[in-house]
Amino acid sequence: MRPLLSVQGVTKHYGAHIGCADVSFDLYPGEVMGIVGESGSGKSTLLNCMAGHLAPDAGQVVFDTRAEGPKHTVTMSEPERRMLSRTDWAFVHQHARDGLRMGVSAGGNVGERLMAVGARHYGNIRDKATDWLERVEIDAARVDDRPTTFSGGMQQRLQIARNLVTGPRLVFMDEPTGGLDVSVQARLLDLLRGLVRDMGLSAIIVTHDLAVVRLLADRLMVMKSGRVVEAGLTDQVLDDPQHAYSQLLVSSVLQV
């Protein structure tokens, strides 16, 4: 089997400061990988390098595109990369308002990616948007309401619908449950887990919440000071951490 995403030696500096250094891994189709670490450990920098939002200083990212097979996303042309980010990729931001158009109705938000790839039939776009609202457990009657009238959890689910409507293969998530109530988090996690399985998605989830990765991620990377200090099967890293920092991280979580 060919990796969906192959990351080799990705390095990003901010001046003298290390964003992330020499990160390498392969992500296979259907795999969900978690990246954990404290604030400033470089996990978001790495995510943004992989998703094409930041240009790494060194290293390469190869993505197996639907249309043309493996391609280097760092060196490909910007239009190509932006096209990928509308078709094969999805990006779920921590704050829903970074990933939504707050002045546009829920239906318009979900429909945008469809229109961006050429959908021109209003009825079909609307049907698909309504269908997706229901899949993320938002009442279809809210299709014409703006996200400003939605709760935080609903906004996050709307962001997910908006991202998944074009059937991407790789979803980047940056703290997808951050800032949500615990009960809302559980619902979102359950939803994400179902979508990941039903759509055969691969995902990379950056979070500092170990419970989130235990429930969603097959694999885990632990980062500290821009470097990967440990990687492996999620439950193995959490239950039998090998690196001093991973042990500290795991033992620092309050048990409930």
Strands lying side by side in the sheet with 5-14: 17-27, 5-14, 58-65, 69-72
Residues that bind another protein (CB under 8 A): 28, 31, 78-79, 82, 86, 101, 103-105, 107-108, 111-113, 115-117, 120-123, 125-126, 143-144, 186-187, 189-190, 193, 197, 214-215, 218-219, 232-236, 239-240, 242-244, 247-248, 251
What is the C-alpha separation between 208 and 190, in angstroms, rounded? Answer: 18
In sequence order, the 6+-apart residues with CB closer than 8 A to the CB of 139 are 133
User: Among residues 172 and 245, whose Cβ is nearest to another protein?
Assistant: 245
CA distance 33 to 220: 6
Q: Which is nearer to another protein, 4 or 171 (CB)?
A: 4
Least distance to another protein, CB of residue 111, Å: 6
Residue number, 208 or 243, with CB nearest to another protein: 243
The least CB distance from residue 213 to another protein, in Å, is 13
Query: Taking the complex as a whole, how short is the minimal distance between the CB of residue 121 and another protein, in angstroms?
Result: 5
Residue 44, CA atoms < 13 Å, CB-side half-sphere:
11
Residue 187 Cβ vs another protein, minimum distance, rounded to whole Å: 6
Rounded to an integer, what distance in angstroms lies between the CA atom of residue 237 and that of residue 226? Answer: 18
Between residues 58 and 148, which has the closer beta carbon with respect to another protein? 148
Beta-bridged to residue 6, according to DSSP, are: 26, 62
